[in-house]
Chains A and B, each alone.
Chain A
Amino acid sequence: MKKRWSAIWLLLFILIGWEAAGRWMEVPAWLLPSPLKIFQAGIEDWTRFYLHLLSTASLSLGGFLTGAAAGLLAAVLLHRVPGLRHPLYPFIILSQNVPVIVLAPLLVIWFGFGLLPKVIVITLVCFFPVTIAALDGFKQTDRDLVHYFTMSGASKKQLFWKLEVPHSLPSIFSGLKIAATYSVMGAVISEWLGSKQGIGVYMTLASSSFRTDRVFVAIFAIMLLSLLFFFVIVLLERYFVRYQRKELR
């Protein structure tokens, strides 16, 4: 129990230190607002802010689901269809080498200001960790178990569903956790490109009017949202990878 709360204590410690240092050194609020001021700004602006928050949350969720589905699909295709992995694998890595900031405006030119370019941006950042994790999971399936399955006359389908998929679940969940945290970031970036709503929009407006406190409200909201997504994935993992949890105890 103590270990679980240690992160909270650390956070409190940092916030108190920040607050104290801000007062001590008299840092102006437009440069670095103190935690209490950020909290106040958040409460004052809440009625406006929560609409942005909801918009970003649903965009991240939708983007994450699309990205995770695309990532799993890509992994399964690359793993199951012979001859696909070697030619396509480098392109999957290359897809991550194009900076999203550069790609995003292009996507707007091609697909307009609607939902599609935003979902594409989030999918691009989310699918990669899922694909790599799933592929590694499939590939690292215990050789002895594979031998047992093939010698026992298992079909390729049985080998995949009864062995490779359950075997790679822990690995897939690692990928999903990374993707879940990336998805919020992806959503905010995609909102910068031109959106009417969302934390990304709120943030841009706040920073251009030097409302640093509101920028920090946005930052904390992004963090909390990422944590929430992460936590949901952890809960799902606990449910689907039950046998492993017992092992750790």
Chain B
Amino acid sequence: MMAQLELQNVSLSFGEKQILDSVNLHVNQGEFVTILGPSGSGKSTLFHLIGGLLQPEKGSILLDQNKITGERGHISYMPQSASLLPWRTVLQNVILGQELTGVKDTAAARQMLQKAGLAGYENAYPHELSGGMKQRAAFIRALLSPQSVICLDEPFSALDELTRLEMQKWLLSIWQEHQKTILFVTHNIDEALFLSDRIVVLSQKPARVLREFEVPFPRPRSEEILLTPEFLEVKKEVYYTLKQGASMS
């Protein structure tokens, strides 16, 4: 299978401080890949590079074999905070991505909102939604955007435990239906294991790729796998890799 998004030897420093040290990673078409790293390991910086907000010092970023290093608008992005526009209704918010770089499709947006359990909230303003609903709207906005790769930056970190699990299950169901390519960032091992096909573990300062894990659990997954011995076994291994990465700095 061909890599849809590829980072080749990407390095970056801010002044004297090296943030990323030859990071190599790829995401295949329709794959769910998670970047797992301790807080402050430059995960968001990685997204800013992919999104073209920053230029890498070395290395390049490829999308469908084309160089997109330093170019903007090639990926669909869902930031840590929902980042909905407070003066727009939910419907107007979710078509923003299409409005910026694509073609507006209000009918599709309505349908998607309905599936996300946001039916009846099309004309509500973001402040009228709960945290989980905002996150869902933000994800639908990313999903409706014309780009083929979605980058999610710790989207559920601000939610409480139960809502987070609900959101993870919801994300999986939507993703399975649409088969979009997803690059996900988190510092939560359970979340990474539950959601992804593959996990890329980063070290801390500077961030290097420590190890890649194929997640062995079949899909569709249910939350019960979180409590199986196999899950704990893999979790242990990921945990020790992560710990080793944190102690190296």
Contacts and interface: CB of A to CB of B under 8 A. Distances in A.
A243 B77 contact: no
B204 interface: no
A140 to B, nearest CB: 14
Contact of A151 (B77, B81, B127, B128): B77
B76 interface: yes
A148 interface: yes
A246 B126 CA distance: 11
A152 B127 contact: no
B72 A246 contact: no
A144 interface: yes
Interface in A124-153: 142, 144-145, 147-153
Contact of B53 (A145, A150, A163, A244): A150
Contacts of A244: 86-87
A144 B96 CA distance: 15
Question: In this complex, which of A148, A154, A158, A169 has the most chain B Cβ atoms within 10 angstroms of its Cβ?
Answer: A148
A166 interface: yes
Contact of B100 (A145, A147, A154, A167): A154
Contacts of A142: 83
B127 A247 contact: yes
A238 interface: no
Interface in A166-205: 166-167, 169
B79 A152 contact: no
B57 to A, nearest CB: 20
Nearest to A241: B87
A151 B53 contact: yes
**Dominant SS among interface residues on chain A:** helix
Given A150-B72, A152-B145, A243-B127, A158 B85 contact: no
Given A147-B53, A243-B86, A153 B128 contact: no
Given A152-B101, A153-B73, A163 B79 contact: no
Contacts of A154: 73, 100-101
Contacts of B87: 166-167, 169, 241, 243-244
Nearest to A151: B51
A162 interface: yes
Interface string A70-103: 0000000000000000000000000000000000
A167 B79 CA distance: 19
B79 A144 contact: yes
B112 interface: no
A153 B74 contact: yes
A122 B201 CA distance: 63
Interface string B52-85: 1100000000000000000011111101110101
Nearest to B81: A144
A153 B72 contact: yes
A29 B51 CA distance: 74
A223 to B, nearest CB: 33
B214 interface: no
Contacts of A241: 87
Contacts of A148: 77, 79, 83
Contact of A243 (B75, B79, B99, B125): B125
Contacts of A147: 48, 51, 53, 79, 83
B100 A152 contact: yes
A151 B75 contact: yes
Nearest to B99: A162
Contacts of A145: 83, 85
Interface string B2-31: 000000000000000000000000000000
A200 B96 CA distance: 51
Given A150-B52, A153-B73, A247-B125, 17 more contacts: A144-B81, A147-B79, A150-B72, A151-B47, A151-B48, A151-B51, A151-B77, A152-B97, A152-B145, A153-B72, A154-B100, A162-B100, A243-B87, A243-B125, A246-B125, A246-B127, A246-B128
25 contacts: A144-B83, A147-B48, A147-B51, A148-B77, A148-B79, A150-B51, A150-B52, A150-B53, A150-B72, A151-B53, A152-B72, A152-B73, A152-B96, A152-B101, A153-B72, A153-B73, A153-B74, A158-B100, A163-B85, A166-B87, A169-B87, A243-B87, A243-B125, A243-B127, A244-B86
